[in-house]
Structure 1
Amino acid sequence: MDMYVGDKIKELRLHYNIYQEELAEGICTQATISRIEKNETIPNSYILYQIAKRLGVDMAYFYGSGSLLKIEYVKNVYDDLERLVRARNYKEVLRIVKLEKSNPLFHRNELKQILLWREGISVFYLYRDTEKAFELFYGALKLTPTTKKNSSAIEIDILASIAAIHGEVGQLEKADEIYQEIFLKMKKLPTNYDPKIAIRITYNSAVNAHFLSNYQEAISFCDKTIQLCLTHSTFYTLGETYFQKGESILALTNNKNEALVWFEKSLALFKMVNNEAAGNYVLEEIRKLGSTSLA
């Protein structure tokens, strides 16, 4: 493992076009980075941890397995928060966040960042407190020690939440601007990041484009989201994307039959994954168009 750490550090540094001096700042000397990259010395755990944070990855990137999020308890909390946000159980999210803020395991900045991010989402959707939500999001972003040339996957997720809330409050142009920034940042991410990030950001971009009346662009984003879901063999946001494509087709062409095809695909998927609330919503939209073929 150790003989490859220097190669991996150099590969990622060059990927982001970061100079050795920039990577070394506040961590070690430029000469030390040079020796590490030449595999002439093995970085100690502190230096490697700081380098990983600077490059926007966790230590799993260098070790191949094991990371802060692999600690079972931390990973369970992370997964629970993601599940609860997706289920829109924001009160429970806030309860867990409050509890874990006092947990020493979550005193590391990159884990504290996750709590602030999830808290911001919940504060907005529970109380519609936009100002507080943005305060939490930008506070979370400040905890990421990357450079101006690179971003971590979590940073991109937080930016996506900021964009989504701008869209929710009607600031659609601002949301679109942030989504464009996100897509540029995503192109620079290492290839092994969680595909769900790209899926949800592309889907949210479709929704935002639809509300901007850019229906053709919305359909294009839907197609990209569907392809991402199929490529990665996941149903994640797929039902929502089918429905969004139908809505955008209807708005663009008023072709009810084509829209119904996508609505019915969405309904079938929601039934398959037992999402009753979403399925009922889609069914009602189908009925409005005069069809109950899958009712």
Structure 2
Amino acid sequence: MASKIGDKVLSRRKELKMTQADLAKNICTQSQVSRIEKNEIMPSSDTLYQIACRLNVSMDYFFGVEPVNNTIRGKKICEDYLESKDFETLEVFVDAQLQTVLTEYEHRYLTWVKAVCAGYTKPDLRLAIKTLEDLLENPIKYQDYELEASIHNSLAIFYRKTKEADKAETQIRKARYIINENHLFNETAAKIYYQYATFLVSEEKYEECLDIADEGIEICIKYNILFLLDNLIYLACGSKQELDIISQRDRDLCAVGYGLAKMKNNTVLIDLYEQELKKYNLL
């Protein structure tokens, strides 16, 4: 059993591109993490639980049971429809799933998806907002930090739509905190940084936007996340333009963002980039 646990800690840590120091922080020493991964020692149940939380897995992960977040029925379908923004079709699918026997975690995930759909298909956002607020007020035993960050992020988006800027910023800050605290540097992180930067631009807080966009860009580059990198570069360069501090290096970065947008055929962003690049005489 000890060898399986050590192997799985090592595998999951590398999957998240996390260092031993990152994993050990406030849990144990880096040396202990190294010895656990080499199967030299068996962590205590408390230490293993904290490691599981940091790695965003359940304790079952270490004992040969499939992770809970991979067993949600229809999750891939939900993700595909969310990506394509086909909320009406997705809402029908989720309603059907909610009529079946579900685990507590499956119900939480699908309720979040249904609230997202309602936010885009219903004229009144209050239902979607109330559903998301209820989810956050009623946590469940199993913690999927990526899902929790996504709930906060969705709530921030809908608060923005209802012109509740303070509430929106509170929620997006919480989403960012969860992502950073749990080292969840993936496409969800890119979404959260993009939403945060977009919010700050809408509030004309360009210095803060630049800080958030730069942080998001750094994460995307470090963890090889192309998703929304072109958008973050555009927001960073746009903020520098507003602050009148844009440099030649920034203009070159803008050209890189333009190339990414073209590679992904993001027509809206391509047009925006071309307007900026013409100002820099780079197009």
Task: Please confirm whether the aligned pair reaches a TM-score higher than 0.5, indicating the same fold.
Answer: yes
The 8 Å contact of residues 237 and 246 in structure 2, kept in 1 or not, is answered as no
| Offset from partner CA, 1:21-68 (integer Å, 9 cap, x none) | xxxxxxxxxxxxxxx8399xxxxxxxx9xxx99xx8534543366223
| Aligned mates of 1:291, 1:65 — CA distance in 2 | 56
Amino acid at match of 1:112: H
Q: Does 1:97 align with 2:115?
A: no
| Aligned mates of 1:188, 1:284 — CA distance in 2 | 36
| Distance of aligned partners of 1:62 and 1:227 in 2 relative to their CA distance in 1, 3 Å threshold | same
Tell me how far 1:225 sits from its aligned partner: 0.9
| Offset from partner CA, 1:201-236 (integer Å, 9 cap, x none) | 222211111112111111111111111111111212
| Distance of aligned partners of 1:253 and 1:67 in 2 relative to their CA distance in 1, 3 Å threshold | same
Q: TM-score, normalised by structure 1?
A: 0.67
| Offset from partner CA, 1:120-175 (integer Å, 9 cap, x none) | 1121122342101112212333553249xx88332222011111221233322222
Q: Does 1:224 align with 2:221?
A: no
The 8 Å contact of residues 250 and 256 in structure 1, kept in 2 or not, is answered as no
Equivalent residue pairs, number = 245
Question: Which residue of 2 is the match for residue 280 of structure 1?
Answer: 267
The 8 Å contact of residues 246 and 261 in structure 1, kept in 2 or not, is answered as no
| Aligned mates of 1:250, 1:178 — CA distance in 2 | 28
Q: Does 1:196 align with 2:193?
A: no
Question: Which residue of 2 is the match for residue 161 of structure 1?
Answer: 154
| Aligned mates of 1:165, 1:242 — CA distance in 2 | 24
Question: Which residue of 1 is the match for residue 45 of structure 2?
Answer: 37
Tell me how far 1:117 sits from its aligned partner: 0.9
Q: TM-score, normalised by structure 2?
A: 0.70
Alignment of 1:41-56 (within 5 A): none
The 8 Å contact of residues 203 and 237 in structure 1, kept in 2 or not, is answered as yes
Between 57-66 and 128-137, report the one with greater CA deviation.
57-66
| Offset from partner CA, 1:84-117 (integer Å, 9 cap, x none) | 223222122212212211232xx11111111111
Give ranges in structure 1 of 5+ residues lacking alignment: 16-35, 40-47
Amino acid at match of 1:160: N
SS in 2 for 1:291: helix
| Aligned mates of 1:119, 1:62 — CA distance in 2 | 31
Question: Which residue of 2 is the match for residue 214 of structure 1?
Answer: 205
| Aligned mates of 2:192, 2:256 — CA distance in 1 | 21
Give ranges in structure 2 of 5+ residues lacking alignment: 10-22, 28-43
| Aligned mates of 1:272, 1:81 — CA distance in 2 | 26
| Aligned mates of 1:222, 1:187 — CA distance in 2 | 15
| Aligned mates of 1:67, 1:290 — CA distance in 2 | 46
Tell me how far 1:79 sits from its aligned partner: 2.6
The 8 Å contact of residues 116 and 139 in structure 1, kept in 2 or not, is answered as no
